[in-house]
Amino acid sequence: MDQFNNIGLIGRMGSVRVVETLRRLIAMLNAEDYHAVIEERTATLMSDHGLQVASRKLIGEICDLIIVVGGDGTLLAAARELAKANVPILGVNRGRLGFLTDITPEDLEERVLNVLRGDYVEEQRFLLDAHVRRNGEPIGFGTALNDIVLHPGRSMRMIGFDLHVEGQFVYSQRSDGLIVSTPTGSTAYSLSAGGPIMHPRLDAIVLVPMYPHTLSSRPIVVDGNSEIKIVIGEDNETYPRISCDGQLDITCAPGDSITIVKKPFKIRLIHPTNHNFYATCREKLGWASQISES
């Protein structure tokens, strides 16, 4: 187990509840003699924090653990920037669903202290990189922990594109787009589009068509190390976009290619020892609980 001494704090902007939780965390860390470092944007939420301030890049280099306070979107953004630092990340949920941020404010101090004392489980999640090229030249790049999505943007027109996996042609399709999802993202946008739920430990990628113009088009699960290439049809009248975790958009043109591959760095997610993926699904997705025997 890692020894956590320097604890980084990152919070979602614009939330009174996040500030309240950060104050509780800071008070607890100070009382337990941990060295807390607050990310520079998060520091603007509180003028009286009294902590060392560091940039998002530096905080990953100097801290042994990063605690992210917010929703899954906040953790997704932090994960993309911190993956290369190889620093473990612990999420405190002050958002909605909270598949990744699984500590609740109700048991904040107890759960976080248990983690700091070595009572936790760790799992690694892979990310995807998207390289957009025009006439062979790079024009855009993005990283995603959940999904990379080809979509029409503001246009209502379908997108025509070719899909290749590991250099092999899969199909030509006309649809509203394509979701390329990691197991982490399989409980997010991919699920809403009819994709399968994948256990986080799977080394696989799912390709989910969005409203395809054929009833026979279905999600495809491929090896996690596959190279996926999407080529935008030359006859498209619209300029579709590539979205990474819904937080970064790259505008594409007819003829552009998007190559998607696994990122060489993984993120390290920390959970309390009672973390259970299926229990999280039951709670967040409204699955039925076990029927008690009479």
CB 33 within 8 A of CB 27: no
Does the active-site annotation cover 203?
Answer: no
Encoding tokens for residue 256? 């552009």
Distance CA(287)–CA(177), nearest Å, equals 29
Distance CA(260)–CA(207), nearest Å, equals 11
> Look-up: residue for tokens 């107890």?
110
Encoding tokens for residue 273? 């020892």
User: What angle, 0 to 180 degrees and rounded to 10, lies between the N-to-C axes of helices 16-31 and 108-116?
Assistant: 50
Residues with Cβ within 8 Å of residue 164, at least 6 apart in sequence: 170, 228, 229, 230, 231
Residue 3 is given by DSSP the state P
Task: Give Dmax over CA atoms of the chain in angstroms.
Answer: 68
Q: Which entry of 72, 102, 147, 256 is annotated as an active-site residue?
A: 72
Measured in whole angstroms, the distance separating CA 237 from the mean position of its chain's CA atoms is 31
Encoding tokens for residue 93? 């949920």
Distance CA(123)–CA(223), nearest Å, equals 19
Which residues are the active-site residues?
A: 72
